[in-house]
Structure 1
């Protein structure tokens, strides 16, 4: 997980997304690569969590499973927190 955090800190995907929106094609290609690596890290994490948090691990895996070449729409893993009710 530390590696994924470093990846996010170093690549700043939000900046790549802004650059892509401004027309920088290379930034869009880099963003795709970074996001693919992070989705793969989430898949690995879901496998590692399975013995300890099977329900959460299954939900994470479901969010990272490709359907016809695309990821499913995002759903909060913890709706209570996502709604700001924490």
Structure 2
């Protein structure tokens, strides 16, 4: 498979310096940028999937008329948070 390249990117010197300072040992700016792009693509894919699940859930609730009250959801979330804090 042939490789492709991204267009060059002009940035402020401070951003370039910050990127260079955050490099791991043996890591290059090119490798850092490539990984950042891969991470962003993956994150955006997860966001799309999350939104799709939410919209499907909304549509299912509309069809079935089966809704969960916001107070019930918040109560469960607060209980989960309290349990997590107690476990620390």
User: TM class by shorter-chain length?
Assistant: 0.3 to 0.5
Q: TM-score, structure 1 length as denominator?
A: 0.35
Between the two structures, name the one with larger relative contact order (CA 8 Å, sep ≥ 6).
1
Provide TM-score, normalisation by structure 2. 0.34
